[in-house]
């Protein structure tokens, strides 16, 4: 199980290949130990045994990746677990923070850039329907108000037109939020419990989905912000959090968490695996002492004199 988790973390949650790889390594390891145990007599009788060299070489070759996987798994489970969970929660907070930042940025654009010019020119037209300069401004981007509408503006309805176009612009910006918020809700429902419950089989997949979702949401909001903002250098600014979970990068984890204790635990595992070999008796190595009990019988005769 431990070696399986190590492969699973390295392969980004691929359960099929992880299970096949782990089972193959463990079966080979147990097979070699069993063969060493059965051939222990032959190995001990010969000072140089070709069989011993082959089997021990194979054991060392297989034990190296298993030790590596054990140390990686133990590092994740014992030392890095809380930090990895914390990173997941930080990245999930990014999803909500991005929505909030987008709302604030397009709201600032509407209130500082879009609304003042719209309001000023509509009021000018309401006071003077023949104001060609104001009509020219409002007939072009970002307002693009038709001449028919501009001719209908008066002092009695100007405020309703102001609200209408501001609300319309707000809806254009907010249109991208619907899909983003819906994707966030689906992710929280599907993968939120994975991090809370430390669901090992789905950790890597959940992190990959989270990173992809952050990138997808950012692109959606960036394109929509650029599309509906008439300023030449306008862009949605949000710092993308690129910190990696490192479940698939054991050397990076070991650079932060000293793996020495984990390696010692892995060596203890190998000692337990080899225990049947060490406990296997070797013929000719033990002497059995037998004792013969000789019984001597002494005849005791006695008489009674009358």
Q: What pLDDT tens digit does each residue of the chain (306 aa) get?
A: 556 777 777 777 767 777 787 788 878 888 888 887 777 766 666 666 677 788 888 888 888 888 888 888 888 888 889 999 999 999 999 999 999 999 999 999 999 999 999 999 999 999 998 899 999 999 988 888 998 999 898 889 999 999 999 999 999 999 999 999 999 999 999 999 999 999 888 898 999 999 999 999 999 999 999 999 988 788 899 987 778 888 888 888 888 888 788 788 888 887 887 777 777 776 654 444 444 444 444 444 444 333
Two tokens, residue 164: 């209408």
Which long-range contacts link 165-174 to residues 24+ away (Cβ below 8 Å)? 165/118, 166/110, 166/114, 166/115, 166/118, 169/110, 169/114, 169/142, 169/228, 170/106, 170/107, 170/110, 172/228, 173/106, 173/110, 173/224, 173/225, 173/228, 174/103, 174/106
pLDDT at position 74 is: 87
Estimate to the nearest angstrom the gap between the alpha carbon of 127 and the chain centroid. 62
pLDDT at position 283 is: 60
Cα–Cα distance list, 268 to 26, 49, 280 (Å): 16, 27, 19
Radius of gyration of the chain (CA): 39
Q: What number of other Cβ atoms are within 10 A of residue 154's Cβ?
A: 12
DSSP state at residue 231: S
- Left, alpha or beta for 231 (phi > 0: left; psi -120 to 50: alpha)? beta
- Left, alpha or beta for 260 (phi > 0: left; psi -120 to 50: alpha)? alpha
Q: What is the pTM of this model?
A: 0.75
Estimate to the nearest angstrom the gap between the alpha carbon of 98 and the chain centroid. 20
Whose tokens are 């932060």? That residue is 256
């Amino acid at each position: 199980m431990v070696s399986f988790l190590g492969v699973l973390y390295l392969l980004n949650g691929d359960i099929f290949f992880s299970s096949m790889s782990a089972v193959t390594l463990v079966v080979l390891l147990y097979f070699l130990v069993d063969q060493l145990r059965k051939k222990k007599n032959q190995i001990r009788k010969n000072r140089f045994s070709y069989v011993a060299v082959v089997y021990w070489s194979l054991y060392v070759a297989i034990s190296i990746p298993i030790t590596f996987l054990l140390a990686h798994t133990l590092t994740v489970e014992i030392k890095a677990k809380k930090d990895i969970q914390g990173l997941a929660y930080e990245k999930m907070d990014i999803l909500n923070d991005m929505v909030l930042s987008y709302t604030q940025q397009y709201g600032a654009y509407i209130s500082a850039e879009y609304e003042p010019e719209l309001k000023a020119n509509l009021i000018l037209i309401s006071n003077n329907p023949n104001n060609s300069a104001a009509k020219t401004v409002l007939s072009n981007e970002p307002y693009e108000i038709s001449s028919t509408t501009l001719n209908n503006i008066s002092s009695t309805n100007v405020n309703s037109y102001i609200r209408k176009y501001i609300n319309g612009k707000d809806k254009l910006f907010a249109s991208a939020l619907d899909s983003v918020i819906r994707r966030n809700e689906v992710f929280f429902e599907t993968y939120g419990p994975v991090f809370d419950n430390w669901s090992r089989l789905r950790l890597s997949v959940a992190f990959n989905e989270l990173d992809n979702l952050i990138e997808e949401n950012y692109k959606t909001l960036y394109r929509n912000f650029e599309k509906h903002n008439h300023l030449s250098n306008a862009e949605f600014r949000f710092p993308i959090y690129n910190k990696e979970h490192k479940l698939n990068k054991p050397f990076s984890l070991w650079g932060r968490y000293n793996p020495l204790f984990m390696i010692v635990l892995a060596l203890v595992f190998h000692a337990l695996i080899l225990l049947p070999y060490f406990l296997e008796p070797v013929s000719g190595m033990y002497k059995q002492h037998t004792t013969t009990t000789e019984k001597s019988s002494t005849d005791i005769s006695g008489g009674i004199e009358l």
